[in-house]
Structure 1
Amino acid sequence: MRGALAPYVASVVAYDVDLGGPGVHRGLPSTTVTFVLPVGEPLDVGWQDRPGSREQRWSTLSGLHAHPAEIHHDGHQAGVQLALTTTGARALLGLPAAELAGLLLELDDVAPALRHLPERLHATPRAGWVDLVEQALVEALAQHDAPEPRAEVGHALARLTRGASVAAVADEVGYSRRHLGSLVRAECGIAPKQVQRIGRFQASRALVGRVPLADVAHRCGYADQSHLTREWVALAGCPPSTWLREEFPFLQDLGTTVEGG
């Protein structure tokens, strides 16, 4: 990760994975903006249970969302995926993450100055994919003079993502819950309670498959294992056991969590 991008890009990974046959990969909710640049074949992605949202795209950007996406594949996936912080959306794309919330968009819709990336990526050996994308983002960083969000809003988002209650965060930053809610929605497009919910789910996803589900529930602030399972069904479209069976081998091969949509 280039130093200039550190506050704006939470992760970047180049992937080239043989999945053994056609299937559907679940794109799970997260507290970051997802940016995918496929190589070889466009990304066939849409929201689960929303058939009209499915399209093949050579670039996909999506903001925070509380429902899963479905990535259809022919048994092979390759490309670069980034997780942008909400601050990164402003700095690199020139707009608040709120304008991406719940949407699946392309670079032409959001950042036309970066529309060259898919073609350049296709012509670059895999070893150079990450460098190419990072260099393009460093250049984009110099082009935007988007205002930073208020420091207290950034603090609130960080605390909510780590599971703090909305009331506690409002007290910490000195705002009423209503005013905090307005500021958070303006920055990331969803209410503070949803940020907290997705943050807790994201924390649980990092533990599922590594420790017993009852321990995951306890560590991540769920009432019990049943509560954890209900939230997984709501946010991932399946219980943790199904995700482990269908997705975990793929994620181990990849070496990192790939979030679609």
Structure 2
Amino acid sequence: MSFVEQQVRLPAAFRPWAARMSVATPVPGTARTVLAEPDHATTLSLREDAFVVIGPRTRARYHEPKRFRSCLTIRLRPGLAGALLGLPVRDLVDRVVPLRDLWPGDDLTDVAAVERALAARELPDDRLVRAAVALLRSKPVHATARELNVSERHLRTVFTENVGVSPKHFARLDRVRTVLGKAHHGHLADLAAETGYYDQSHMTAEFHAVMGVPPARFVAGDLPAPSGCSGFTH
């Protein structure tokens, strides 16, 4: 099974907190494996009339499809999930947690209910994290810290608490996600150079560590065996 993802307009209360909102609709019969991509973002996902929080995912997950339902996903901006949810984001890495566990007492069964809850929360000062995210896509950690006039240790502490993964891990996941988006559309050697790897072997090793298979096998559809059943996870 695969999914067709369509971006939808963010409600006003979500716009300061979220990068985008989308609906993924299943296309039955197109594949036997559901891929949950590695992702450095924290997302909110509406499943079976209740929201769950999906923390940063450090490795790809492969599942057998079970339920054939559309799924609404809200991708939070880097650095804001901790203030929004009330805990360090590093505590959410590779976890899926019901939103009601983090916001007890709220009725969180639809987008409008979450929108009302958001309106009562205050945005944090996320300028350092936002600037670091932009720089890390083209600069190493030490250069990013120097440009931001902070120590690497301070950057790592603030970034990990508010994003969930370290700056170095963020950059690694970001590169792999870029390769995922382009792997079916070009030569792997050219792609390695475009995405900031030392060479193709560096890209292959990093991709394999995160995705479970090297890029050539992934492109060919030779994926790891699925682990259990799951509905769609973004």
- Report the TM-score when normalising by structure 1: 0.71
RMSD of the alignment, in Å? 2.8
Q: 1:239 to 1:37 in 2, by over 3 A?
A: farther
Which residue of the partner structure matches residue 113 of structure 2? 136
Q: Larger deviation: 22-31 or 198-207?
A: 22-31
Where is the helix percentage greater, Structure 1 or Structure 2? Answer: 1
- Alignment of 1:192 onto 2:184: no
Q: 1:154: Cα distance to partner? A: 2.5
User: SS of the residue aligned with 1:190?
Assistant: coil
Counterpart code for 1:14: V
- Of 153, 157, 162, the match for 1:182: 157
| Separation in 1, partners of 2:219, 2:53 | 26
Counterpart code for 1:84: L
- Alignment of 1:244 onto 2:219: yes
Q: 1:75: Cα distance to partner? A: 7.1
The answer (yes or no) to whether the contact 1:26–1:70 under 8 Å persists in 2 is yes
| Separation in 2, partners of 1:114, 1:224 | 50
Which residue of the partner structure matches residue 177 of structure 2? 202
Which residue of the partner structure matches residue 132 of structure 2? 156
| Separation in 2, partners of 1:116, 1:189 | 24
- Alignment of 1:5 onto 2:14: yes
The answer (yes or no) to whether the contact 2:79–2:159 under 8 Å persists in 1 is no
Q: 1:75 to 1:116 in 2, by over 3 A?
A: closer
Q: 1:96: Cα distance to partner? A: 4.2
Q: 1:74: Cα distance to partner? A: 3.1
1:20-59 per-position Cα deviation (integer Å, ceiling 9, x unaligned): 178331212222113322359xxxxxxxxxxxxxxxxx65
- Alignment of 1:214 onto 2:223: no
Q: 1:219: Cα distance to partner? A: 0.8
Tell me, which stretches of 5 or more residues in structure 1 are unaligned? Answer: 41-57, 118-131, 248-258
Counterpart code for 2:62: E
Residues 1-261 of structure 1: matches in 2 within 5 Å?
1-20=10-29, 23-39=32-48, 59-74=51-66, 76-90=68-82, 92-112=84-104, 116-117=108-109, 133=111, 135-145=112-122, 148-160=124-136, 162-246=137-221, 260=233
Q: 1:165: Cα distance to partner? A: 0.6
Q: 1:60: Cα distance to partner? A: 3.6
User: SS of the residue aligned with 2:29?
Assistant: coil
Counterpart code for 2:147: E
The answer (yes or no) to whether the contact 2:45–2:73 under 8 Å persists in 1 is yes
Percent identical residues: 27
- Report the TM-score when normalising by structure 2: 0.78
Q: 1:150 to 1:33 in 2, by over 3 A?
A: closer
The answer (yes or no) to whether the contact 2:40–2:56 under 8 Å persists in 1 is yes
Query: In the comparison of the two structures, how many residue pairs are matched?
Result: 216
Q: 1:95 to 1:10 in 2, by over 3 A?
A: same
